[in-house]
Amino acid sequence: MSLSQSDTASGATPMPDTCQSMTDVRAGVDALDARLVDLLATRFAYMRAAARIKPERGHVRDERRKAEVIANAKARAEALGLPADAIAAIWDSLVETSIAYELDHWDRRRQD
């Protein structure tokens, strides 16, 4: 059973294989983007937890862990047939942004 454009308008988001129009595709992408941001909010909550837990500012940046996280994302991308190098680059940016966020929270916790 495929979803029609009216299904999308009523709130149901079509899966990629059931899209019948660019309206369906865009609705699916927009819904997925919102979910990704929600997941990123959870990831950044873990960064706040790390800032609370780590006793020293120098512990925030962990290059071995950064490499592990990026390698995990790249391997997952490869397994799913996605552009692994591009995913690795996205994850590099995500991890660097996470480190900066964690450092900011680490500093703010210690200033109060």
Calculate the CA 107 to chain-centre distance. 24
pLDDT digits (tens, 9 = 90+) for 53-102: 999 999 999 999 999 999 999 999 999 999 999 999 999 999 999 999 99
52 is in an annotated binding site: no
pLDDT digits (tens, 9 = 90+) for 14-40: 899 999 999 999 999 999 999 999 999
Domain range summary for the chain, segments of one domain joined by +: 1-53, 57-112
96 is in an annotated binding site: no
Q: How far apart are CA 1 and CA 111, in angstroms?
A: 57
Distance between first and last Cα of the chain: 57
102 is in an annotated binding site: yes
With tokens 């454009």, the residue in question is 5
78 is in an annotated binding site: no
pTM: 0.84
